[in-house]
Structures are given as C-alpha cells and as structure tokens.
Amino acid sequence: MSFFNSFPDDENCFGNKIRMQTESQAKISIFAQKAKEIDDIIKMNICYLSGESKETKEALKFTIDILDHPERLSAPSNKIICDMDEEINKHLNEIIDHLYTFRIWFALQKPAISEGNSFDAAVVEEMIDSIIKYEEYAQGALDCYQTYAEERGRLFTKFFKNPYYEDIRIAIIDLDQRELSGNLTILYDVRDAYLTLHDCVVKNFDRLKNPIQSVEFAPNAL
C-alpha cells in the first residue's frame, strides 16, 4: 500500500492533502504554498530588518517608555515583538510537523540497496538528512524565543535595581531590536527551507511516487 493511500478518506486529512498534491506532480505542493505564505509575511515585515527604519523605532517606543518610567516597576512584553514571535512560532511548529510527515514518507520509500538500487537509496537518504537538518534548525529557533524572554527578564531586573545605568538601558533596547530583525532572518530561513524541499520533491518525484512493495522498517532510518 502506498504511503498516500494509508490515510483515511477524509478530505481534510493532511495525508490526503499531500496525496492529492503529489498526484498532480506537486504543481501546488504544501511546500510551495507555505513558501508563498511566508514570503508574503516577510514583505509585510521587511521594515523591521533595519534598526533605523521608522517602523522599528515605533516598535521600540513601547520599550523606551518603560525605561523612561522606572518608578512603575513594571515591564510588560513589547506587544509588537510578542505578536511577531507568536506568528513565527506557529510557522516553526507547522514546518516541524510537515517535515516529520515527509521524513516518514521518504524513509518508507527508500529502496533496499540489496535490490541494486544503491543510487536511488543514496538520493532518498540525502533527502532525509536534509529534512533532519531543517527540523533541528526549526527546533533551535523555537528554543531561542525562551532564551530571549529569559534574557529580557534578567536585564529588566537589573534595570529596576539600577535604573540610571545607561548600559543596561542600551542592552534592553538592543535586545528588542535584535529580536525584531532576527525574526525576519528566521522567516527567510523557513521560506528557503520550503522552497528547497519543494524543488527536491519535484526533481525526485519519480523515485518517491512508487511505493516500495516490501519495506524493512529500521528505526535508525528515521
């Protein structure tokens, strides 16, 4: 049974969406759709890539207002940054789910070398390795958001103890500015990952579309 045919006949099932897309030679694959979606988000937020842009300065006003009033002893999160972080977290979790599904599919389609398919097996193995690298990157990017929040909290704790230390003030503003521009970098990387994988699937479609009749499932293949 093909990997695509192993899903229930629910048109909303993600597996069936993949099946329908690959049956049309991946003309409108999930990877291409997501790359376009993320590229649109990049275009809307490209202004935050520069620390000198009007939009970046506007976003940092919220942080500067907190620093200008240390007597409040309150440091809420920067809403613009939080909203962007939430959006990117959604896309990171989404690409991890997609990569996992395709990694399973690629592993199931990998031919046995003993059958004389060493070249095809090597190609599929290389695709699996690429997916694993993208998964690791996406997971690492998710971890960075926790690091940002912890660092911001630590700096504000220092600030409220020493509100007139200019270096702490500069460090907090710089941290928020780097978070804004860093989010754009992550979006670029996720978009490029989708494009690369889409290209890989299209070029190797013939190797992947035919199910392997007999698969010896090895845990280390995943």
- Band the pLDDT of 153: cuts 50, 70, 90: very high
Q: Is residue 12 part of a domain?
A: no
Q: Is residue 54 part of a domain?
A: yes
pTM of the model: 0.75
Q: Is residue 52 part of a domain?
A: yes
- Band the pLDDT of 181: cuts 50, 70, 90: very high
On the CB side of 7, CA atoms within 13 Å amount to 16
Q: Is residue 21 part of a domain?
A: no
| Host domain of residue 94 | 30-221
Q: Is residue 116 part of a domain?
A: yes
Q: Is residue 206 part of a domain?
A: yes
Q: What is the pLDDT averaged over residues 122-130?
A: 85
Number of structural domains (the chain) is: 1
**CATH number of the domain to which 72 belongs:** 1.20.120.180
Q: What is the mean pLDDT of the chain?
A: 81
Lowest mean pLDDT among 56-70, 97-111, 134-148, 195-209: 195-209
Q: Is residue 139 part of a domain?
A: yes
Q: Is residue 5 part of a domain?
A: no
